Chain A
Amino acid sequence: MSDLSHAPAPSRLQKVMDSTMMYSFRRNPVAVASLAVFLVIAVLSFLAPLIAPYDPYDPASIDLMNSEYPPAWVNGALPEFVLGTDDQGRDLLSTILYGTRLSIIIGLCAVALQAFLGITIGLVAGYVGGRTDSLLMRMADIQLSFSTLMVAIIFLAVTQALFGSETFNRYAVFFLIAVIGVAEWPQYARTVRATVLAEKKKEYIDSARVLGFGPLRIMIRHILPNSLSPIFVISTVQVANAIISEASLSFLGLGMPPSQPSLGSLISAGFDYIYSGSWWITVIPGIVLVVLVLVINLLGDWVRDVLNPKLYKG
């Protein structure tokens, strides 16, 4: 400690590279591979408009005559459709790229909404305590006692009936984000409340109170930054869950319309053709979905191991 004053302060990047987190990351091949796969999928799908050979949203580029061509390695394939085409004659590779992008966007936005609601409610419940806490947590319990899918199905079915499928299809992305976001906030609220209760007992919070800081400042400046680790941990898992939820809803026909397919609606669309031999329409997006969710969950496992305060002692 005595040579603190002599050593030059390490740069931010260097600090990050030296951190326990980076160290454990470099030593964990599963985490490295998962991140690599996730980044490949994410980058490719977000670059879809640039790299996809066709635009699946453009009806002009779709020719029904091209429907149900198999992938390139199967007999009877057309070389321009690497992964084959779907029932409407869309290039499957392009459709999957666009669909993955949509799935990831919906997943991230839904989780952002969950996190915003859950963190706010959790912070208030944990910090204020008493009646407010009881009320908010009972709300969370009620919300949790309905399954996400059930809430979502009811909500989406009602909206679809209410607005008609034309309007619904136009705003499907927002409806999906809203319903998945609202249905899962208690996950965040409970975790955040638990950490707030733990942090609130620590002396630095007392110290902040003695210095006369208001509750809002203490919550946001002092408690929230120290509750980030568990938030980070559940966020990864929740993104995977949200992507699955979106896929399930789309598969049930309550999500993205066939004209703007996400991974779930692609799988669903192909499902009708699986017995007629066109397995690739379902199987290939299915594999992408499974791999995407798997790598996110593997990353989540690693994050939890690193950030778990019980396992990790600085």
Chain B
Amino acid sequence: MKDLSSAGPLLDIQNLEKKFDLDKGFLETLKLRGGRLIRETRAVHAVNNVTLDVHKGEAVCVVGESGCGKSTVARMVAGLLAPTHGEIHYAGQRIDNLSRHAMRPLRKKIQMIFQNPYASLNPRMTILEALEEPVRHHNPRYSNAEVRDRVAEVMRSVGVDPAWAKRYPHEFSGGQRQRIAIARALTVDPEFIVADEPISALDVSIQAQVLNLMLEAKESRGLTYLFITHDLSVVEHFGTRVVVLYLGSICEVADTATLFSNPKHPYTKALLSAVPQLKDDRPNHIRLKGEIPTPINLPKGCPFRSRCAFANKRCDEEKPKTIQQPDGSLVACHAVEEDRLDTAASV
């Protein structure tokens, strides 16, 4: 197994599932139905049977609309949530069931960057305290000088002047805070970064700065990313591979170039066409009927079928499996499998 780990994927997610119970207490599960008292638990199926691998050096982007479970996947990988089912392996080692103590060496390797730079830094700690804390925690034997050097090096590498170290987060703008948050993740010298919408709270000109910083860090530190976003233009730029999620299930996995030039799943197509284009006058917008259903007690069948123009009886009954396409992409759609998309579209 040992030598396999070096050749296999860095991160390997198998049949990952996450349910959130809506009715927590025993009394909440009791319901009156037709005059009888029955016990029923409602659950949000945030992530259903997601299988995914990430190889070293990749930047895998997970896209989808709100409620599709992309953040839940990120939080499970980062160890903030325990999966209901399924396994997460990192470098050959199963990590989803580790104790906090056993997880500790891996904490240095897997780090996370959060969406909201206004909430991801402790408002009562100076930048220096926030950056020194993880260094000291993971390297208890470092001398003060070593800690200081490490922090200064990281601060310079993200473009934050070490002279500002004594200031508090509220004295910085959103973009600078996000740099500091990235710096904090980099202080422990990670290999793998889970980034949950790291730029969506930032202004356009600042988004470019932060994205550049992340690309730079990828090159110089050999980082691997799992990048969660709803912004497809960022995906096209940043990602090497894309995973499209809808209601907690995978619709399509493909190399970025393949996905953007030749999207296959009807949802992917609609998603791509919905992005407001800068220079294209008439958008070729595929209109989806209805809206995203709630992920509570999902019925069987394809999760997308209520909005899909190609849904038929089979889609109602049977949940599609991901099937490898000739160009290497994985698509979970009966219509693609039966090759009835193009014929239907031309009608």
Contact = CB atoms under 8 A, between A and B. Distances in A.
11 contacts: A1-B172, A1-B173, A9-B167, A206-B78, A206-B120, A207-B120, A210-B185, A211-B111, A211-B133, A225-B124, A226-B123
A310 interface: no
Interface string A205-237: 011111111100100011001100000000000
B65 to A, nearest CB: 21
B120 A203 contact: yes
A210 B185 CA distance: 9
Given A5-B164, A211-B184, A203 B119 contact: yes
B203 to A, nearest CB: 13
Contacts of A204: 119-123
Contacts, number: 81
Contacts of B104: 212
Interface in A176-228: 202-204, 206-214, 217, 221-222, 225-226
A314 B114 contact: no
B145 interface: no
A207 B163 contact: no
A221 B124 CA distance: 9
Contact of A212 (B108, B114, B167, B172): B108
A203 B114 contact: yes
Interface string B115-153: 110011111110000000110011000000000000000
Contacts of A202: 119-120
Interface in B81-124: 100, 103-104, 107-108, 110-112, 114-116, 119-124
Nearest to A314: B170
A211 B134 contact: yes
Of B110, B112, B185, most buried by chain A (CB within 10 Å of CB) is: B112
Interface string B141-183: 0000000000000000000010110110011110010000100
Given A206-B112, A226-B123, 8 more contacts: A204-B122, A204-B123, A206-B80, A209-B80, A210-B112, A211-B185, A211-B188, A213-B133
A211 B108 CA distance: 7
Of A1, A208, A210, most buried by chain B (CB within 10 Å of CB) is: A210
B320 interface: no
B69 interface: no
Nearest to A202: B119
Contacts of A60: none
A206 B116 CA distance: 12
Q: How large is the interface on A (under 10, 10 to 19, 20 to 34, 35 or more residues)?
A: 20 to 34
B79 interface: yes
Nearest to B118: A203
Contacts of A210: 78-80, 107, 110-112, 185
A211 B137 contact: yes
A212 B138 contact: yes
A314 to B, nearest CB: 6
B331 to A, nearest CB: 33
A4 interface: yes
A196 B171 CA distance: 24
Contacts of A226: 122-124
Interface of B: 75, 78-80, 100, 103-104, 107-108, 110-112, 114-116, 119-125, 133-134, 137-138, 161, 163-164, 166-167, 170-173, 176, 181, 184-185, 188
A17 to B, nearest CB: 16
Interface of A: 1, 4-5, 9, 202-204, 206-214, 217, 221-222, 225-226, 314
Contacts of B133: 211, 213, 221
Nearest to A218: B122
Of A208, A211, A226, most buried by chain B (CB within 10 Å of CB) is: A211
A213 B137 CA distance: 8
A214 B172 CA distance: 28
Contacts of A222: 122, 125
Contacts of B121: 204, 207
Contacts of B184: 207, 211
B120 A1 contact: no
A206 B123 contact: no
Nearest to B115: A203
Contacts of A5: 161, 163-164
Nearest to A211: B134
B80 A4 contact: no
Q: Which 10 A-B pairs have the closest CB atoms?
A: A212-B107, A203-B120, A225-B124, A203-B114, A203-B119, A210-B112, A211-B134, A204-B122, A202-B119, A1-B173
Given A9-B166, A212-B137, A314-B170, A207 B181 contact: yes
Nearest to A212: B107
B97 to A, nearest CB: 17
A4 B122 contact: no
A1 B164 CA distance: 11
A9 B163 CA distance: 10
A132 B104 CA distance: 25
B156 to A, nearest CB: 13
Contacts of B122: 204, 208, 222, 225-226
Contacts of B170: 314
Nearest to B121: A204
A211 B189 CA distance: 11
A214 B100 contact: yes
Contacts of A221: 133
